[in-house]
Amino acid sequence: MNLFSLFRRPSSAPVARDRLQILLAQDRTGQGFSDLLRVLREDILAVVRRHMDIDFDRVNVQVGHGEKLSMLEIAVEIPDGFQAPRRASRRKRTPVPARRRG
């Protein structure tokens, strides 16, 4: 440190570079993810529709980025009053393995 550095503001370019590097890493994986999510959504929809009649916009797939881990969240809304078909071997009605958002 010399006398002049007392009067000089700290340089901002290295901050810009670091912010960009982190941001673009996120942007780039984000775009990859959005493609993955679209494919996942279509696949999940196809499977669920084999068993029940649901709308195309009733499947919500998203990735939440946390500090330590990211979470893949899949939410499928099922129509009101939907009843699972009875199975021949069991008398009891099987619960539908789907959860609502929220």
Partner 1 sequence: MAKVVVVTSGKGGVGKTTTTAAMGAALANLGQKVVVIDFDVGLRNLDLMMGAERRVVYDLINVIQGVAKLPQALIRDKRIDTLALLPASQTRDKDALTEEGVRRVITALRQMFDWVICDSPAGIERGATLAMRFADTAIIVTNPEVSSVRDSDRIIGLLDAKTLKAERGERVDKHLLITRYDQPRAARGEMLTIDDVLEILSTPLLGIIPESEEVLRASNLGSPITLNNPNSGAARAYFDAARRLMGEDIAMTVPVEKVGLFGKLFGRRAA
Give, as one character, the DSSP assignment of residue 9. Answer: P
Question: Please, what sign has the CA dihedral across residues 59, 63, 66, 70?
Answer: positive
**Residue listed under structure tokens 């941001």:** 23
Contact between 2 and partner 1 per CB under 8 A: no
Q: What residues does 62 pair with on adjacent strands? A: 73
Tell me the closest approach of the beta carbon of residue 17 to partner 1, in angstroms: 5
Which of these ranges, 7-15, 47-55, 66-74, 81-89, lies near partner 1 under the rule CB under 8 A?
7-15
Tell me the closest approach of the beta carbon of residue 3 to partner 1, in angstroms: 17
Angle (CA) 67-71-73 rounded to 5° is 145
Residue of 14, 64, 66, 85 that binds partner 1 (CB under 8 A): 14
Question: Please, what sign has the CA dihedral across residues 73, 78, 80, 83?
Answer: negative
Contact between 38 and partner 1 per CB under 8 A: no
User: In the complex, which residues of this chain contact partner 1 (CB under 8 A)?
Assistant: 11-14, 16-17, 19-21, 23-24, 27-28, 31
